[in-house]
Amino acid sequence: MPAFDPLNPPRMKIDDYEAFGKLVKTWSTQDAKYLGKVYPVPRSLEEFKAQCAEAGVGLSLPDFLTGFSVSMFDNNTVYIRIPPKERVLASEGKFAAGGSYNVPSFYGDLAFGGATPAVDPADRMKFHASRIGDYTISYCE
């Protein structure tokens, strides 16, 4: 297995975010209306991979990802997802050096009228901090 490189970390990739979202909705609601069947909440990485494959998600995971965790949120608890230090520092370095911030293509396709989301270079670090702030507390809005 190749060593983890914090300056160029491989990322989990999803080919079909709609299919993945429907799978997550199924886990949350236990309703078959999203994918034609009910999928139980996965309890292992292998189960997660198998369900993603069956649902047509198009999941690609780097080899170094060997752990798996699921958090079932409730309406009365604040959940904060803290990213690994190495990822924060590596992405800060990437953006400071002029790299771009990657967002899934569905943002441009569905929310921005087909335009590719772009961040002014002067605002990269502001966007980076705002994005981290958003995804650490977001859960279904």
The model's pLDDT over 60-106, given as tens digits with 9 standing for 90+, comes to: 999 888 999 998 888 898 888 888 888 888 888 888 887 777 777 78
Taking only the tens place, the pLDDT of each residue in 35-53 is 999 999 999 999 999 999 9
Q: What's the burial of 82, exposed, middle or buried (CB within 10 Å: 0-12/13-18/19+)?
A: exposed
The verdict on 1 and 66 lying in the same domain is yes
Using an 8 Å Cβ cutoff, are 38 and 25 in contact? no
Nearest to 27 by CA among 58, 8, 4, 48: 48
Percent of the chain with pLDDT over 70: 92
Structural domain including 96 reads 76-141
* Number of residues in the chain: 141
Instruction: Count structural domains, the chain.
Output: 2
HSE at residue 45, side-chain half, CA atoms within 13 A, is: 10
The verdict on 26 and 49 lying in the same domain is yes
The verdict on 2 and 50 lying in the same domain is yes
Using an 8 Å Cβ cutoff, are 19 and 56 in contact? yes
Enumerate the β-bridge partners of residue 59: 14
Using an 8 Å Cβ cutoff, are 20 and 14 in contact? yes
